[in-house]
Amino acid sequence: MIYLTLIWEFLQVGLFSIGGGLATLPFLYGMTDRYPWFTREMLTNMIAISQSTPGPIGLNMATYAGYAAAGALGGVVASLALITPSIVIALVIVRILDHFRTNKYVAFAFYGIRPAVTALIAFAVLGIAQVTLLRAGAPDVASMFDYRRIALFLLLVVCIRKFKKRHSAWFLLAGAIAGLLFKL
Amino acid sequence: MELWEIFSVFFKIGLVTLGGGYAMLAILQNDLVRRLKWLPGEKLIDFYAISQSLPGLIGVNTAMFVGWHKARTPGLFAAALGVSAPSIIVILVVAMFIGNFLHVPAVKFAFNGVRAAVAAIIVDAVFAMWKSGVKDKPTFVIFLVSLAALALAPTMSPVIPVVAGAIAGVAVKTAAERRAAAQTGGGPR
């Protein structure tokens, strides 16, 4: 049953995505390989929509993924499955709050988790770059690269570094306007 | 009723928080600490710091801790549902209608541009994570090994690098501690 599959998948996402919304990305990316729920291209649209609508990005992405997989009820089921591990963990942690913060093994574990999560997200970026910046089914290597999109991408990377305090929605809006103007 | 108040306050916060994370901290500071005086500012920062190092979503985790602070376990649930509900509703509405628009050429062009922006935003996030996570030789090795493993087995579950990273972190740091203790003559830590 698709709801059970959704629950199982999003419980895992909730339990193992550490470090905020984008940490859910490698999981969703993996789902494009294993399930017919959504394509990588759709996933990238999904990230854009999640970044420009209210609420935690990870939750937005779960709702959207669940909806794409099994309709409105799927969206609700995926979201609840996503936050269930957090609720259980929070119920435990609040009771040992001060101990958890000062425990050196917790700190040691995070010392190793951070670079692993960086690698996971870096790897997911490669997949996103593939659907965003390359043309599918190009006859040869030279026509594979979509130079205008690559230029837009590089320009935006520089802009985001430069205007750090601006909300991501502005960069998405800039991308949308450029896409319309240049018929990307 | 107190639980309803917790739910509705977090519902409003969930509704106005664009982009999660840091944006949310500023809103919590303003609403919960300054206006409603539910908890002192330092306590909020503590909750936020712990939330960042726990699995799951930072915003939801922080909300749950505040809910617990206010009304224990029922408060925790009220806060979790309150902060999550708006984004579930908004995304469902967007999801129901977006499919009708994606076939319009103008929308297609716009989304092609938006996707390039998404790639840029995530690249920037990777830079930031690199700065805070890859600081020395062991963390660099963990990064490279994780990336190599993913390249060899692209369908590998992300759970594996996370758990392996945690184990490697504990092993490396514990060994470093032992070495330091041995060098100072095996004295007490």
The interface pTM score, or ipTM, of the predicted complex is 0.76
Average pLDDT of adjacent 10-residue blocks, chain B of 189 residues: 92 73 70 88 79 79 92 95 91 83 82 85 82 90 94 84 92 93 68
B116: helix, coil or strand?
Answer: helix
Q: CB of A184 within 8 A of CB of B112?
A: yes
Write out chain B residues lying below 8 Å of A53, CB-based.
18, 87, 90-91, 94
Q: Please compute Rg for chain B using Cα positions.
A: 22
What string of DSSP letters covers B48-103? HHHHHTSBS-HHHHHHHHHHHHHHHHHHHHHHHHHHHHHHHHHHHHHHHHHHHHTT
User: Among all chains, which residue has been given the structure tokens 């617990």?
Assistant: B68
B158 vs A16: CB contact, 8 Å cut-off?
A: yes
Digit-coded pLDDT (tens) for B10-64: 998 888 765 555 567 777 887 888 889 999 887 887 787 778 778 878 788 889 9
Report d(CA A108, CA A58) in Å as an integer.
25
Neighbours of A152 (CB within 10 A): 26
Digit-coded pLDDT (tens) for A146-179: 888 889 999 999 998 888 767 677 888 898 899 8
Instruction: Give the best residue of B72, B89, B114 to mutate against chain A (max A CB count within 10 A).
Output: B114
A118 vs B59: CB contact, 8 Å cut-off?
A: no
**Using 50, 70 and 90 to split pLDDT, how confident is the model at A10?**
very high
Both tokens of residue B175?
């060994």
Residue among A98, A110, A19, A16 nearest B173 (CA): A110
Report d(CA A105, CA B173) in Å as an integer.
9
Report d(CA B100, CA B118) in Å as an integer.
22
Report d(CA B102, CA B107) in Å as an integer.
6
Write out chain B residues lying below 8 Å of A56, CB-based.
17, 20, 24, 57-60, 83-84, 87
Write out chain A residues lying below 8 Å of B95, CB-based.
63-64, 67-68, 75
A54: helix, coil or strand?
Answer: strand
**Which residue has better confidence, B40 or A54?**
B40
Pairs of residues, one from chain A and one from chain B, whose beta carbons lie less than 8 Å apart: 363
Write out chain A residues lying below 8 Å of B73, CB-based.
91
Both tokens of residue A172?
């998405």
A149 vs B116: CB contact, 8 Å cut-off?
A: yes
Report d(CA A99, CA A181) in Å as an integer.
56
Residue among A178, A154, A61, B35 nearest A170 (CA): A178
B46 touching A (Cβ < 8 Å):
yes
Which residue among B92, B116, B125 places its CB closest to the CB of A67? B92
Digit-coded pLDDT (tens) for A93-123: 888 877 777 888 888 988 898 898 888 888 8
Q: Which residues pair with A18 in a beta bridge?
A: B55
B100 touching A (Cβ < 8 Å):
no
B64 vs A86: CB contact, 8 Å cut-off?
A: yes
Q: CB of B159 within 8 A of CB of B153?
A: no
Report the pLDDT value the prediction gives residue A48, as an integer from 0 to 100: 82
Report the pLDDT value the prediction gives residue B186, as an integer from 0 to 100: 53
